[in-house]
Amino acid sequence: AATFKWDDPLNLHNSLTEEEQAIQETAHSYCQERLQPRVLEAYRKEDFDKKILQEMGELGLLGATIKGYGCAGVSSVASGLITREVEKVDSGYRSAMSVQSSLVMGPIDEFGTQEQKDKYLEKLGNGQLVGCFGLTEPNHGSDPGSMETMAKPHPSKEGYYSISGAKTWITNSPIADVLVVWAKLQETGKIRGFVIERDQCPPGTLNTPAIKDKNGLRASITGMIQLDDCPVPKENMFPEVEGLRGPFSCLNSARYGIAWGTMGALEDCIRRAREYALERKQFKSNPIAKYQLVQKKLADATTDAAFGLAAALQVGRLKDEGKIVPEMISMIKRQNCDRALVNARHLQEIFGGNAVSDEYHIGRHVANLFVTQTYEGQSDIHALILGRAITGLQAFV
Ligand code: TGC
Ligand code: FAD
């Protein structure tokens, strides 16, 4: 007989294929056994261990939907389940994985030349190389179309562009071997994508200082990309794709992954808050879980997590059938990030003073979830993308 499961109230498990269930199980075991024990120290020290990407690569978790090049070639739903498991541990680990998979391997697979694919995909997929994605600039975040980073023919090196400009808030940049950078081509004024190899850059032309002392996403490394007349071979430019369609196509996949991932973070908050509420006793030896106001917090969070996962699953199935439009992704990215943040913040109250200790993990999720609501399109920006689709009127400018 069917029973109510607090950790899967709408029986999502039943809608997964056996293969998807097996992939989720593999990701779950790795994340709980190998990542969870490291996260507190990594967060405290603001330290990201590159080896994590190699471990993920060995398990086939990187670029998981890509076919060939040693990648797993799994469904979009399976890749969503992987991000959900990783983000149950920490949004920063999911961030490192999303950037490598959706924002670096993704554009190389979708827009790269055969030579670029052969050169980079396998090594990125097994974590031998680390990648980053440079779109945001100090003066242009929500509005990347106004970027200032410029590529022009190199004045002295035949067959090279010279790229100058600055990118900021770039996940993985201080440790990246391969940097996907979006810049305007001076000749056309159009945005183009370039694969920059750190090893190929002469001293002083590429710097990637870390941005330290973050108050969220501390288990992920973030930095700038500073390019000063950096020579980049012309064959390192993506040959066809022009305009914002390039970066936004990759962002569609990354944003889709965040919709799953943030639900994983919220599920971890629910599990921890429920356990705490059942153990903690106040007033006549009652567990605080017996009190209505505490139950309401758990009911709200559990409902939002189940709805958010159901929506992510629906969009994932449509994605695999080639039937999605970007507005669907804006809807689930915005809703799931917002609901994860609001509910995590309410669940935090269940821990009382203990919420302030990092050993209870809830404060870390709350701080991380603010970042998820901000990057890959801040929630209000996604509201405007939806508003534009609903009314036909654009409100950005
Ligand atoms: P707009 O006029 O809307 O579009 C310009 C061109 O781009 C195309 N396009 C898309 N193509 C594919 N998928 C999408 N989702 C697309 N959205 C737009 C569009 O069709 C058009 O093509 P064409 O050929 O006609 O030129 O452009 P706009 O300048 O008005 O854009 C406004 C807005 C707000 C929608 C957009 O700029 C936006 O989404 N801003 C948010 C910026 C953002 O998401 N940045 C993300 C940086 S990367 C990051 O945060 C990584 S964090 C990674 C981690 O650690 O996990
Ligand atoms: P702004 O664009 O200045 O926005 C500030 C506020 O104004 C927001 O609330 C926004 O919604 C609002 N706003 C802006 N325009 C409008 C408007 N027209 N109408 C209404 N409200 C508006 N970027 C990358 O390229 N690669 C990465 O790997 C990457 N990783 C990141 C990692 C971290 C930890 C962080 C914090 C950010 C990262 N980002 C990355 C950058 C991220 O995508 C941007 O921070 C985000 O797009 C918002 O840009 P901004 O910070 O410049 O804010």
How remote is the CA of residue 244 from the centroid of ligand 1, in Å? 6
Pocket test for ligand 2, best of 244, 372, 374 (most atoms within 8 A of CB): 374
Which residues does residue 186 pair with via DSSP β-bridges, in sequence order? none
Which residues does residue 231 pair with via DSSP β-bridges, in sequence order? 162
* Alpha carbon nearest to ligand 1 atom 46, residue: 376
Query: Nearest-CA neighbor of 144 among 376, 320, 389, 328?
Result: 376
Is residue 351 very low, low, confident or very high in pLDDT (cuts 50, 70, 90)? Answer: very high
Q: How does pLDDT run across 4-26, given as a tens digit for each residue?
A: 999 999 999 999 999 999 999 99
- 8 A C-beta contact, residue 244 and residue 145: yes
- 8 A C-beta contact, residue 366 and residue 356: no
pLDDT at 249 over 90: yes
* Alpha carbon nearest to ligand 1 atom 17, residue: 248
> Does 326 contact ligand 1 (Cβ within 6 A)?
yes
User: Whole-number mean pLDDT of the chain?
Assistant: 97
DSSP letter for 142, please: S
- 8 A C-beta contact, residue 167 and residue 225: yes
- 8 A C-beta contact, residue 394 and residue 383: no
- Compute the average pLDDT of residues 207-230: 98
Other C-beta atoms lying within 10 Å of the C-beta of residue 56:
27
- Compute the average pLDDT of residues 262-291: 97
> Does 304 contact ligand 1 (Cβ within 6 A)?
no
Of 20, 87, 122, 376, which is the active-site residue?
Answer: 376
- How big is the chain, counted in residues? 397
- Compute the average pLDDT of residues 322-348: 98
Q: Rounded CA gap, 86 and 352, in Å?
A: 27
How remote is the CA of residue 140 from the centroid of ligand 2, in Å? 8
pLDDT at 1 over 90: no
How remote is the CA of residue 107 from the centroid of ligand 2, in Å? 21
Q: Rounded CA gap, 16 and 89, in Å?
A: 22
Q: How does pLDDT run across 365-390, given as a tens digit for each residue?
A: 999 999 999 999 999 999 999 999 99
Query: Nearest-CA neighbor of 231 among 205, 262, 269, 268?
Result: 205
> Does 136 contact ligand 1 (Cβ within 6 A)?
yes
Question: What is the SS3 string spanning 218-249?
Answer: CCCCEEEEEEEEEEEEHHHECCCCCCCHHHHH
* Alpha carbon nearest to ligand 1 atom 3, residue: 385
Which residues does residue 397 pair with via DSSP β-bridges, in sequence order? none
Instruction: Please name which ligand lies nearest the alpha carbon of 246.
Output: 1
- Compute the average pLDDT of residues 114-141: 98
pLDDT at 313 over 90: yes
Q: Dihedrals φ, ψ of 305, to 5°?
A: -65, -45
- 8 A C-beta contact, residue 247 and residue 147: no
Query: Nearest-CA neighbor of 388 among 377, 376, 373?
Result: 377
Type of residue found at 183: A
| Residue 376 annotated as catalytic | yes
How remote is the CA of residue 342 from the centroid of ligand 2, in Å? 19
Q: How does pLDDT run across 53-89, given as a tens digit for each residue?
A: 999 999 999 999 999 999 999 999 999 999 999 999 9
pTM: 0.97
pLDDT at 397 over 90: no
How remote is the CA of residue 249 from the centroid of ligand 1, in Å? 8
